Amino acid sequence: MDRPIEPIERAQLHARQDVFVSDSELSNRASADGVSPAFAATSDTQTRPTRHTEASGIPVIDLSCAGKGNYVAKRSLPMQALWFVVEACLINNKLNPSSALRVALLRLFGAKIGTGCCFVHPVRVKAPWNLEVGDHCWFGVDVWLYNQAPIRIGSHVCLSQGTFLTTGSHEASTTMDLRVAPIVIEDGVWITSKCVVQMGVRIGRSALVTPLSVVHCSLAPGGVYGGNPCRFLRSRFPSED
């Protein structure tokens, strides 16, 4: 026969079943079982698990074991450090109003930039050697190109204020290893303010992305897209019919 559960064991069992029980509720449970509230509170503290434990069935990924995945650095650490200083002092500096200076420095560090591009505002570029830009493109204030893999931007493209393009992410369900994939922005695209474009995305010719949208998959040409996740809203150009 199963032995009866003692009052102290019942209090400990309550604490394990509900780690978020309030002090007043725990006290009431303990009193009903004939156990002092002080002992029940001590038992609750000792048995309270962390947010994710093996007992909960939800694993925790050890970030100390995460690796670089498929990321390959194309420049030495000294060169990366030098670019870090140049970017902070001149590229991402609102006291520098010179588009020509920004373009010259980006090209010096390996970026391929066409003619007539407008870089008059502070921007951030993780790796200029992974950046290709066509002709007559506009870059708004606080545009951030986090290009651990190549970002290729066509001609007549507008990236508005606060737009964030990132070619990197992590293996979220396994190792948290870094993984990267290029981003391609075709000719005539307008990505409006504070949008996020994720790794591996291709945005088709003359597409328009509305403010605060998150682009997680490729977009077809000529459409207006918006939302999180980004979805098709309408055609950008009216029909000629």
Sequence-distant (6+) residues with CB within 8 A of 162 are 140, 141, 142, 143, 144, 193, 194
Nearest to 130 by CA among 176, 78, 166: 166
Residue type present at position 166: T
Considering the domain architecture, whether residues 83 and 153 belong to the same structural domain is answered as yes
Q: d(Cα 74, Cα 68) in Å, to the nearest integer? A: 13
Instruction: Specify if 2 maps to a domain.
Output: no
Do residues 90 and 108 lie in contact, with contact meaning Cβ atoms separated by under 8 Å? no
Per-residue pLDDT of the chain (241 residues; tens, 9 = 90+): 555 545 545 544 444 444 344 444 544 554 555 544 444 444 443 443 333 546 678 899 999 999 999 999 999 999 999 999 999 999 999 999 999 999 999 999 999 999 999 999 999 999 999 999 999 999 999 999 999 999 999 999 999 999 999 999 999 999 999 999 999 999 999 999 999 999 999 999 999 999 999 999 999 999 999 999 999 999 999 884 4
Given 60, 85, 105, the domain boundary residue is 60
Is residue 113 classed as helix, strand or coil in its secondary structure?
A: strand
Q: 180: which strand partners?
A: 168
Q: Are residues 108 and 213 in the same domain?
A: yes
Q: Contact at 8 Å (CB) between 159 and 136?
A: no
Q: How many folded domains does the chain comprise?
A: 2
In this structure, the answer to whether residues 110 and 207 fall within a common structural domain is yes
Contact 111, 91 (CB under 8 A): no
- Is 66 contained in some domain? no
Task: Please check whether residues 102 and 215 belong to one and the same domain.
Answer: yes
Q: Are residues 81 and 48 in the same domain?
A: no
Residue 201 lies in a domain: yes
Is 65 inside any structural domain? no
Query: By residue range, what is the domain housing residue 12?
Result: 7-60
Phi, psi of 108 (to 5 degrees): -60, -35
Give the residue ranges of DSSP H helices in the chain. 7-17, 23-33, 37-47, 77-86, 99-108
- Residue 219 maps to which CATH number? 2.160.10.10
